[in-house]
Amino acid sequence: MPNLLAIPFKKTYPVNVKEAARNYIYAHGGGHPDEFKDDINLWQNLRNDGVGGVVHVDRINSSLLQSLTSYHAQLVSILTKFPANIELEIAYAPAFQQAAVPVTLNNLVFERCGVLFNLASLYSQLAAAEERSTMDGIKRATANYQYAAGVLSFLKASGLPKLVYSPDDEEIPRDLSDAFASALEFLMLAQAQECSWQMAKLSTSTPREPATALTSVAGQYKNGLIAKVAARAASLYQLAAQTIRDASPGIKDLFPPVRTLYGEEIARLHEAHVEAKKAHDIARRGRIAAPVLQDIQSLLEVVQKNLARAERDNDLIYHKDVPASSALSPIVQTNLVSSTIPAALSDPTSLIGNARAIFGELVGWGAKEAINIYNDRKQNLIKERIVDVSSEMQDAADEALQRLNLPSALEALERPIGLPPSLLRKAEEVRLENGPAKIEASIEDVQRLAQHDQAILDEAMDILDNEASEDEAARKHTALNRLPSHEANVELIEKEKRYRAILAQAATSDETVRQKFDEWERNIVELMWSEEELEASIPSSTISSSAAATAQGKQTQVHARALRVQIEALDDVHRAREQLVRRAQALASADDIRDRVVRAAAGFARLVEVTPAMFEDVSDEELAKYDRFLVEIGEIEMRQSGILAEIQRRNELFLQSRKDDPAVKEREYALQSLDLAYHKYREITRNLDEGFKFYNDLATIFLQFKEACKNWSRLRNQQIQYVHFIHTLLTTTADLSA
């Protein structure tokens, strides 16, 4: 049994790479899954060969090393094409607790970190397996321990920062943390340094090349240098131990115990003897591996021999005072080792070489996400800064005209009998759409969608309730090392409460729309009447020719014409605005940034992880073509403001000059009432369309939430089944032993 330590592998379990990869490609585009059949099979085979299960002891060799590094290189490539979560459940057991419940995550970065951890484990096991009775064996052990440290360093720098957990992840791998990896890195460096110390010790009895500044004339390392090398080994062991002590309890509990060594001339040898004897006594009483106990026994004998020799020489020859241990200066450290990152990790491209990278022809997830982000930004820009602004301008103009009783006041004056053409067009529009029936049907549709959303949320809660019942039932028979359901599902319950609040708020808005229709239903129904019925319902007004011929009458006609000109100018603004909206929407519909993003992605270095942020410049440049619409909508808004101000001024002059005729007033009121009913009809239908879209979008969110509840519940049930399986296995084994 070796007296230096090796890191055990993190045990993993088989996964169905093929199904998850095919489903992702099918759902997110980029080609048909069959186009990438060879890539998917290669991925599955690489995983099975590298980390697909328990690594047998006879595979601790260069073949497994090649499998692991090749698989890691391909994972780097895969993560440039896929996001971390492709709904592939990956499970790894804690390194030092193989019997514990494995941590399962839908995370390809978790897979990559697990591969790196096992690669470090493999290097440490290769080092520990070396025969260190020869210089060549010690050198190989030193190199492999440094490689193990280098892989752990690479894991901290390149793997762990990208391992981001989802709020739905109930368990996280505590042995894939910075503190855990740092402690193991220091331990690997310490053992590499100890191997270097061993080489230095062997050189004292092995002829060497000509002397250097670090060696004596006899070709041997000086004792002072050996002490410095030993001091650095002790320091590295202390760093490993201190890192473990400083770690959180959950991480600290994962580590096995560590050890340290001591030594120096006369006073130092006295101190070394005390410490070595103390270590020997502890080792005999404690649960220490036999090779370690033998090392301590050998060290104690060496220290005793050297102490006797040094004291004898000092008594007979040197007669020097022996200082107290507290007066000794610290030993200056000499470091001979460093973390060595294997070239296959730092440059995975060189490992793949000219071979096919898995999914090399697939558009990467970062590029696809950049396209999605651009489309979202484009649609938001069109909606928020063009369509919504246009709607707000229309509402503002309608509100201003309604407040001024326009154009009804003009039409009552201009057409004392009959119906204005604008009103006839509006009534015809409502009749063709069967307005009241359309509103009633839309209200029922929105209500049905709201009930459907409520049902989805209830089903999600039923899943959580069933899981809680199963959890409670399992605890009556088996001890479960996890939080009870009512504590573990807090985040899901809080999310459900937020969703309930959204539904309640939406129901209030729905009721407001319903009340609005109840208030205006009679007026909207009037718009369904025939032209003859409408005309009969509107009072007529006449202005005598003598009154029209007066100076006041002529002045009224002048102001009326000027007011009509401004209203027609406002209509021109409305048409220009609507045309602008159509042009912007047409451009957005035809706008496809995919080819440009794909070309930009092809320009990045091979195996570089492509993220959406890399395409910000492309996105900004493409969005710039919509700037002209923003400028134009701003100019139209300024024109409308000016026209409305002029309408306000002209209307005041019109009112001052107009003869106060009750018949005209009555006709104005009737026309205004029907015009306002039309605008309320349009407002209600727009509200219902928004409600329809709102509940459809909410249903998508609720279905995702329900699926998250289902996955969470399934994972919890799998844990119960696993614990039950282990319990049954142990019980059966105990019965067979008995």
Query: Residues 671-697: pLDDT tens digits?
Result: 778 888 888 888 899 999 999 999 999
Q: List the single range of 373-387, 407-421, 466-480, 580-594 with lowest mean pLDDT.
A: 407-421
Q: Tell me the H-state helices in 158-314.
A: 178-203, 223-246, 249-252, 267-285, 290-313
**404 pLDDT higher than 70:** yes
Dihedral angle at the C-alpha atoms of 62, 66, 72, 76, nearest 10 degrees? 140
Looking at 476-608, which runs of residues are DSSP E strands?
A: none
**266 pLDDT higher than 80:** no
Residue 633: per-residue pLDDT: 92
Give tens-digit pLDDT for 641-669: 999 998 888 887 777 766 555 556 666 67
Give tens-digit pLDDT for 204-257: 654 444 434 344 333 456 777 888 888 899 899 999 989 888 888 777 777 654
Residue 353: per-residue pLDDT: 62
Q: Angle at CA 597, nearest 5°, toward 591 and 600?
A: 145
**108 pLDDT higher than 90:** yes
Residue 546: per-residue pLDDT: 41
Q: List the single range of 177-191, 414-428, 690-704 with lowest mean pLDDT.
A: 414-428
Residue 250: per-residue pLDDT: 75
**606 pLDDT higher than 70:** no
Residue 318: per-residue pLDDT: 60
Residue 262: per-residue pLDDT: 29
**258 pLDDT higher than 50:** no
Residue among 125, 136, 124 at smallest CA distance from 186: 124
Residue 553: per-residue pLDDT: 59
Residue among 180, 276, 205, 267 at smallest CA distance from 234: 276
3-state secondary structure of 103: strand
Residue among 643, 44, 63 at smallest CA distance from 401: 643
Residue among 523, 553, 453, 455 at smallest CA distance from 676: 523
Q: List the single range of 20-29, 95-104, 344-353 with lowest mean pLDDT.
A: 344-353
Rounded to an integer, the average pLDDT of 408-435 is 75
Rounded to an integer, the average pLDDT of 702-725 is 85
Give tens-digit pLDDT for 244-256: 888 887 777 776 5
Residue 201: per-residue pLDDT: 81
CA distances from 645 to 574, 577, 650, 676 (A): 16, 18, 9, 21
Residue 351: per-residue pLDDT: 64
Domains and CATH numbers, the chain: 17-264+331-352 (1.25.40.280), 265-330 (no CATH), 364-403+544-660 (1.20.120.560), 417-541+687-738 (1.20.140.50)
In a 13 Å sphere around the CA of 50, the CA atoms on its Cβ side amount to 27
Residue among 262, 356, 329, 336 at smallest CA distance from 300: 262
Residue the block writes with tokens 């901290």? 156
Structure tokens, 12: 């993993």
Residue 260: per-residue pLDDT: 32
Residue 356: per-residue pLDDT: 61
Under DSSP, the state recorded for 106 is: S
Residue 414: per-residue pLDDT: 59
Residue 676: per-residue pLDDT: 85
What count of other Cβ atoms lies within 10 Å of the Cβ of residue 574?
Answer: 17
Chain Cα centroid distance, residue 524:
50
**502 pLDDT higher than 90:** yes
Question: Residue 608: is it exposed, middle or buried by C-beta count within 10 angstroms (0-12/13-18/19+)?
Answer: middle
**481 pLDDT higher than 70:** yes
pTM for the model: 0.50
Chain Cα centroid distance, residue 278:
52
**608 pLDDT higher than 70:** no
Higher pLDDT, residue 347 or 661: 347
Under DSSP, the state recorded for 105 is: E
**628 pLDDT higher than 50:** yes
Give tens-digit pLDDT for 113-126: 999 999 999 999 99
Residue 638: per-residue pLDDT: 92
Q: Residue 143's pLDDT band (boundaries 50, 70, 90)? A: very high
Under DSSP, the state recorded for 403 is: H
Residues 507 and 502: their CA atoms lie apart, in Å, by: 9
Rounded to an integer, the average pLDDT of 148-171 is 89
Average pLDDT of the chain, as a whole number: 81
Rounded to an integer, the average pLDDT of 153-162 is 93
What DSSP line would sit under 70-91, residue for residue?
HHHHHHHHHTTTS-S-SS--EE
